[in-house]
Amino acid sequence: QKEVEQNSGPLSVPEGAIASLNCTYSDRGSQSFFWYRQYSGKSPELIMFIYSNGDKEDGRFTAQLNKASQYVSLLIRDSQPSDSATYLCAVSSERGAQKLVFGQGTRLTINP
């Protein structure tokens, strides 16, 4: 079992709809959770982070964390074609530890 799992997609969503991206992790001691966006041929760009159970909203993005279920998700409201990218879920495995463990990413396509 991989430490961080994501559906590789591709996930296709019509413009203006809500895109829902999911991630599960295996280490119950994980404390910090990050979503990165990576355009083709570019480097990962941090878009959201969440540390506590519940929801965190930033503009059109909402990160949701459920530690009991070891599940973290990213919702993108009013999806735009410019949101088309690979979304990487990353987990910091221990409190105070620094390395990030990434999932393989979900490729998202927003159709105009």
Partner 1 sequence: GAGVSQSPRYKVAKRGQDVALRCDPISGHVSLFWYQQALGQGPEFLTYFQNEAQLDKSGLPSDRFFAERPEGSVSTLKIQRTQQEDSAVYLCASSPSSRGYEQYFGPGTRLTVT
The CA-atom distances, in angstroms, between 49 and each of 16, 30, 33, 90 are: 24, 13, 6, 9
Q: Where are the alpha helices (DSSP H) in 23-101?
A: none
Question: Which C-beta is closer to partner 1: that of 31 or that of 70?
Answer: 31
The rounded distance, in Å, linking the Cα atoms of 79 and 64 is: 17
Tokens representing residue 82 in the block: 């410019």
Q: Check residue 13 for interaction with partner 1 (CB under 8 A).
A: no
The CA-atom distances, in angstroms, between 55 and each of 39, 42, 82 are: 25, 28, 24
**Residue 78 beta carbon to partner 1: minimum distance, rounded to whole angstroms:** 25
Q: Check residue 44 for interaction with partner 1 (CB under 8 A).
A: yes
Please give the size of the binding site for partner 1, defined by CB under 8 A.
Answer: 24
Tell me if 15 sits within 8 A of 102, measured CB to CB: no
Question: Which C-beta is closer to partner 1: that of 44 or that of 65?
Answer: 44
**Residue 105 beta carbon to partner 1: minimum distance, rounded to whole angstroms:** 5
Binding mask 73-112 vs partner 1 (x if CB under 8 A, - otherwise)? ---------------x-x-x---xxxxxxxxxx-------
Residue numbers of the site for partner 1 (CB under 8 A)? 4, 8, 32, 34, 36, 42-46, 49, 88, 90, 92, 96-105
